[in-house]
Amino acid sequence: NRLFVEIVEGCRLPVLRKNQEHEDEWPLAEILSVKEVSSRKLFYVHYIDFNKRLDEWVTADRLDMKKLQFPKKEAKTPTKNGLPGSRPSSPEREVVSICCTKTCEYCSYTIIAAKVHESNVGIVHNQDSQDSSDGIPTAPRMTGSLVSDRSHDDIITRMKNIECIELGRHRLKPWYFSPYPQELTSLPILYLCEFCLKYLKSLKCLQRHLTKCNLRHPPGNEIYRKGTISFFEIDGRKNKSYSQNLCLLAKCFLDHKTLYYDTDPFLFYVMTEYDSKGFHIVGYFSKEKESTEDYNVACILTLPPYQRRGYGKLLIEFSYELSKVEGKTGTPEKPLSDLGLLSYRSYWSQTILEILMDLKPDNGERPQITINEISEITSVKKEDVISTLQYLNLINYYKGQYILTLSEEIVDGHERAMQKRHLRIDPKCLHFTPKDWSKRGKW
């Protein structure tokens, strides 16, 4: 016991991780917090090189004290302006010319963001995948998801603070910190109205609220319905309370700082599933009313009970259908979460392969298509088309020109994937008229 007293925040040591899919393992972990419950010490650990959603409280018997490392004192980092505590400025980096025509200053900023997840989609750089707690840009971001500068984050925001959320018929275990009022974070269960997303401290309060809450679907306009799937468009200025509550819920499952209170510049597209009790939230994406970077998605999330069922791809497909109606190409705001990156790569791959496999030979010659044409047909931004073709390793240089080569393996894999993809957006069921927000003053 005397040894455990010496464990402080910042210590690192191997911790027994209970792995449900494989054998138990002892990865290196960092102690983020220590507390005592019923005279027993508990340690909040972050497994190094694992996603933060796996962080947890553990008991002392799961710590390998023989390999305990105490935190090192960090030297203050001087910068070019001589002020301590700031990060050194990024060196210029080599950029693949086909993918990026921006200035070096822009590229170095983008590369920093790229560190967060495997590679920055749309610009091809060789960056190692890192946990999303590292490599956030220090430059201010005037963009949709307001990604935080982690140098300002404190230890509190690195720890999950909500034990459990009850939302309709589902109980959800949050993955990350969300800034719900502090007095609610000690509750065993936080209750949410599944229609207006208001948070309440007890089942009694929820039941009382439900007698007064008239909503049976998200506020705003229903702009799509096919079968049991509907999409509602919500203006962050007109429905501020709902939008803020949606962001608080989403933050439980998104590892970057989403907007909390300034929802005015955003539209929210909420996907629901209908039954006799109402329209139940499945997921959503937010979108800036005006984006200088052609972002058609700021934050995107499928709630955990609905994941791995094709809904994530349906949300992405819907965002591009909106872009098609707007007559624009779009791209999601970076950095994407790890699950978001997987979903987008899969969607881009399937969408582009669908077009390539439908091409017909022209007068006996091999069929031809330009990157711009693929981009125009799909509304996928040109940089994302290029990065996907490179990711799939389809581009080859042959006799002085670039050609796309589809192997049997790629074709077979694509056909198998498309057979499993039962959920698709039907453009005929979309009733959406884009607004010109630039002419609407302050939205």
pLDDT tens-digit readout, 17-65? 987 667 789 999 999 999 888 889 999 999 998 988 999 999 999 999 9
Tokens 């390793």 sit at which residue?
A: 393
pLDDT score, position 203: 96
Q: Residue 318: how many CA atoms within 13 Å on its side-chain side?
A: 31
207 φ/ψ angles, rounded to the nearest 5 degrees:
-65, -40
Which CATH fold would you assign to the domain 152-429? Aminopeptidase (3.40.630)
Work out whether the CA dihedral 18, 176, 270, 136 comes out positive or negative: negative
According to DSSP, the β-strands at 199-200 and 395-398 are unpaired
Asked if the model's pLDDT at residue 107 lies above 90, the reply is no
Contact (Cβ atoms closer than 8 angstroms) between residue 326 and residue 430: no
Confidence of residue 126 (pLDDT cuts 50, 70, 90): very low
Residue with tokens 């049976």: 216
The residue to which tokens 């799961």 are assigned: 62
Mean pLDDT of 312-318: 96
CATH of domain 11-67: 2.30.30.140
Mean pLDDT of 278-300: 94
Q: What is the pLDDT of residues 395-442, one digit of tens each?
A: 887 777 778 888 889 999 999 999 999 999 999 999 999 988 877 655
Tell me which residues are annotated as active site: 333
User: Which pLDDT belongs to residue 5?
Assistant: 52
The ranges of the chain annotated as CATH 3.40.630.30 are: 152-429
Q: What is the mean pLDDT of residues 206-224?
A: 95
Q: Of 213-222, 230-239, 295-304, 399-408, give the lowest mean pLDDT range.
A: 399-408
Per-residue pLDDT, averaged over 93-99, amounts to: 29
Q: Which residue type does 133 have?
A: S
Q: What is the mean pLDDT of residues 288-314?
A: 94
pLDDT tens by residue, 358-383: 888 777 777 888 899 999 999 999 99
Tokens of 82: 């001589």
pTM: 0.77
Report the alpha-carbon distance of residue 122 to residue 380 in Å, rounded.
10
Whether 171 and 165 have beta carbons less than 8 Å apart is answered as: yes
Q: How does strand 165-167 pair with strand 190-192? A: parallel
Res 335: pLDDT:
82
- Indicate where the chain has its CATH 2.30.30.140 domain(s): 11-67
pLDDT on residue 251: 93
